[in-house]
Structure 1
Amino acid sequence: MATTSSDGESATADREILISREIDAPRELVFEAFTQVRHLSRWWGPEGFTTTTRSFEFRVGGAWDFVMHGPDGTDYQEWITWREIVPPQRIALLHGESPTDPDAFESFLTFESTGERTRIAMRTVFPTRELRDQAVEKYHAVEGGEQTLSHLAAYVAGLRHGTES
């Protein structure tokens, strides 16, 4: 968790991106869609991207090794290590290009039940402000994160209405 300075601001605020969305589905279903590879590979990523999973082990210390295929044909090697899993409330992960990526960033996801809906919040903390700025400016991380959560919402809606399997 982030520490807070005496003025009340997070000590990591200049290295963070926070994206949240309310999804019209129960928390357990949203959590399942985020944690089972049969679902995750179908909605993960921003507009125009697809995902190919090489390996997936959802447990603390386990990893998701995958490739994101960009709309321009560029492949992005990706690696996520699961650091904390508290079903269906919270996930912490380390995300980089490989298990030894020095520029890997941490993400903390919370799933809050609001009746039959779920508020998902994704807080990403980069090692440096420069890496955060690069992610925002060069890779459009804010828009990409919002699009990814939009894909999750649409996918879960399909599950609820029987149009996804």
Structure 2
Amino acid sequence: MTDTIEILNERLFPVERATLFEAFADSDTLCLWWGPEGFSNRISSFDLKPGGEWLITMIADNGTEFHNRWTFDDVVSGYSISARHHEPVHVFTLQMRFADEGTGARLSWRMLFERTDENEAMQKFLHAANEQNFDRLERLLEQARGSH
């Protein structure tokens, strides 16, 4: 057993890699799909560059607000993003990789947490929440394709 918990989600999307990357890189678009089902978002800072800050308030469908603070560690435009989530509660690193695959693009999403009892308990919930994130992104990309 290591002292790190890894949560890996990945999905193939039927869009070009640049389109998939832009769905994250454009904060107005990101607001529309970030988080599990039932959440809306308000982004007050989004500086997508190494050392840049990302402040996002996730709002649950019951109105509860969760203020999240991130720092971008590394950004390779169109290919990868690495960011650290500082608060609330869970400190972790998120590594996103965008890769061409067939006629679409694959998004690989790797979360790294320190191994604690609380983080171990959250592991299955977070994997499922990430899948909901991907579901929301997929619906948004389908709507955008349908409107062209």
Q: Which one has the bigger strand percentage? A: 2
TM-based fold match above 0.5: yes
Which residue pairs with 2:64 in the alignment?
A: 74
Which residue pairs with 2:54 in the alignment?
A: 64
Which residue pairs with 2:97 in the alignment?
A: 110
SS at structure 2 position matched to 1:122: strand
Opposite residue 114 of structure 2, the aligned amino acid is P
Q: Please tell me whether residue 142 in structure 1 is matched to residue 127 in structure 2.
A: yes
SS at structure 2 position matched to 1:126: strand
Q: In the TM superposition, what is the alpha-carbon distance from 1:115 to its structure 2 partner?
A: 2.9
Percent of residue pairs identical:
27
Aligned mates of 2:53, 2:146 — CA distance in 1: 31
Bigger mean CA deviation after superposition, 149-158 or 32-41: 149-158
Which residue pairs with 1:5 in the alignment?
A: none
Cα-to-partner distance string for 1:82-117 (whole Å, 9 max, x where unaligned) = 11111211111101326xx7x410011111111321
Q: Please tell me whether residue 47 in structure 1 is matched to residue 37 in structure 2.
A: yes
Answer whether contact 1:36 1:58 (CA < 8 A) is retained: no
> Number of residues paired by the alignment?
148
- Among 9, 32, 51, the alignment partner of 2:22 is 32
Answer whether contact 1:25 1:157 (CA < 8 A) is retained: no
Aligned mates of 1:161, 1:80 — CA distance in 2: 33
SS at structure 2 position matched to 1:31: helix
Q: In the TM superposition, what is the alpha-carbon distance from 1:131 to its structure 2 partner?
A: 4.3
Q: Please tell me whether residue 153 in structure 1 is matched to residue 138 in structure 2.
A: yes
Task: Output the TM-score relative to the length of structure 2.
Answer: 0.90
Opposite residue 141 of structure 1, the aligned amino acid is L
Runs of at least 4 residues of structure 1 off by over 3 A?
Answer: none
Gaps of 5+ in 1: 1-8
State the Cα RMSD in Å.
2.0
Q: Please tell me whether residue 121 in structure 1 is matched to residue 111 in structure 2.
A: no
